[in-house]
Structure 1
Amino acid sequence: MKNMELKNSDSQSFTVGERLKAARKEVGLNQSTFAEMVDMSLRGYQANEQDVSNPSTVVLKKFAELGVSPLWLLTGNGNMMLDKTSKQIYEDADNSATETKAIVDALNLIFDNLMEPTPPETKVNNTHEIYDEIGIKNHVAFRKLINELSEPFKSFYLLPVINPKNESAFHDFGTDLDLYNFHPVRRSWVADKKLDPKHLKAAFPTDEAMAPTIAQGEIAIIDDRASLSSSGIYVVSVQGKVFMRRVEHKINGLHLMTDNEHYSNEQLNQEDSKKVEVIGKVVRIDKHSDRF
């Protein structure tokens, strides 16, 4: 009953997860079957429908192949089901793993371009090259799909995630979320804080040393212009290992501190302090499920 209400009412009032559930039921699939179709674990896909995580481009593409509008899934705008023109791209293409990866690459490239008002010609050329690699026969339909997928992101900056494949960040959901390469933050927030989006990045914690301040599954926004001149939480690299710590300057070196009593603090001498590479200072902490 709720599925019909969602389909026929103002679906913007429902969450992305609720729309995913409604769409899946509309095309007559259970969670297990759909998860297998997109090569996800059942638990990973259930996290999508429970609004713990948002769907990847692979999930959106599969729904589009089944006739469901990605724009409707993400925003509730428009109709649940695609028209024939928008679905054309999927009827013209095969469903090989190579093609799926190419489309994901194309979507990631276009999302990346949204960070820049005027993307360089090289990025535009790269997009056309990917079109050719995929073998798209209906460019108009594909661009329409891209515009639908891009629309919800236009009020956001998409920050590159420096450790998108860090499995520890997703220990509750397996490795299904490895496609999470960008983290959106609202443009209005960046403007209010007078930050430069070109110097902002995102990072997942690689351990639990900063819990409960920064817990596994949360994500930190960092400013890469920051130096170790002031106290705060930093993302640093020591001998190739990336981690988050509170950093304080002491007379004899750096003091790396944790917020978790089960992790020890470290006092570095002057020589070892020189080996610490600063990636950025934490300026905001988001819950993974709050990224939209």
Structure 2
Amino acid sequence: MTVGERLKLILDIHKKNATTLAKELNVSRTAIIRAVKDETLPSSILLIPLANMGIDVHWLLTGEGEMFTKKTLSKEEQKIINQGTISSIGDHNSIENKSINETLYLKEIEHLNTTITQLNEIVTQLKAQLKDKEAIIELLSQK
């Protein structure tokens, strides 16, 4: 998952678009859009307000760790993260129903499936090119 995809995920989780988030963070809409499109890495002008919002900047830039910093989560953000978590009192097992981590995994799987599809298309093209080159070699060897 790229930085832009992680930033898009933040927008999706908070149910915001680039314009709304830009106004809330007091940054330019263009800065957010360019970062979401992976045209540029987010600058400190965007990273600092995101960190103040509870986003783990290390996660945003590298994909490592958790999306949210635990110490700065508001009750509302805590609710979003815990949304769908059900604890079974009888057997003490917890069942996660569409948690944030599951959403991240699904986004990563979607990204990997897209990459696999692109790679399969490249393999098909290369096989066709190889077949064409073999045909040319065969023609040249007949002379």
TM-score by length of 2: 0.46
* Bigger share in helix: 2
TM-score by length of 1: 0.23
Larger relative contact order (Cα-Cα within 8 Å, sequence gap ≥ 6): 2
Q: Rg bigger for which structure?
A: 2
* Bigger share in strand: 1
